[in-house]
């Protein structure tokens, strides 16, 4: 599952950071899930729990926020997100396609100002470890 692979990568990154800091306890990890990533948080947390089994911290220290998508039109330079579209954005099946290939968003949506389908994704994709709080001496 995609979520498990992401969970494994996040755990490995946090573990490495913890080791760099003398193996102290991890107090908090803030993650940003891009809106386009379309991650099932329950499945992600299942994966986290599995990969954290032998580590001195649990899934409870992980906090997830959704980073809204931000598109930028290459023609008129307007920036917008799904909330700015007249409709509620792409249908669920279209969001699934965009999840796998974010650049395919141009096939499903257009700039709300000029109607052009040539835009970039500035924010709202991928998974980012925004912050790791590690216990200090």
Residue 52 is predicted with a pLDDT of: 93
Domain edges within the chain: 2-67+124-134, 70-122
The edge-to-edge listing of strands for the beta sheet with 79-80 is: 79-80, 70-73, 119-123
Residue 88 is predicted with a pLDDT of: 59
CATH pick for 2-67+124-134 out of 3.30.2320.50, 3.30.9.10, 3.40.50.10420, 3.40.50.300: 3.30.2320.50
Running along the chain, 137 residues long, what does each successive block of 10 average in pLDDT? 90 91 87 90 94 89 95 96 77 78 84 94 92 85
Between the alpha carbon of residue 20 and those of residues 25, 29, 40, 81, the distances in Å are 12, 16, 30, 38
**What's this model's pTM, rounded to 2 decimal places?**
0.81
Instruction: Identify the DSSP state of 25.
Output: P
Residue 27 is predicted with a pLDDT of: 92
Evaluate whether 23 touches 57 at the Cβ level (below 8 Å): no
**Residue corresponding to tokens 């003398």:** 22
């Amino acid at each position: 599952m995609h979520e498990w692979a992401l969970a494994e990568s996040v755990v490995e990154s946090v573990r490495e950071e913890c080791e760099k800091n003398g193996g102290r306890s991890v107090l908090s990890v803030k993650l940003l899930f891009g809106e386009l990533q379309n991650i099932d948080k329950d499945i992600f947390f299942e994966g986290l729990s599995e990969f954290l089994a032998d580590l001195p911290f649990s899934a409870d220290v992980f906090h997830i926020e959704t980073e809204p998508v931000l598109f930028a039109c290459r023609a008129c330079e307007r920036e917008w997100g799904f909330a700015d579209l007249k409709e509620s954005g792409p249908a669920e099946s279209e969001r699934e396609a965009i999840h796998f290939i974010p650049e395919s968003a141009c096939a499903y949506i257009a700039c709300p100002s000029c109607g052009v389908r040539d835009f970039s994704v500035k924010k709202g994709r991928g998974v980012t470890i925004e912050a790791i709080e590690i216990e200090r001496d």
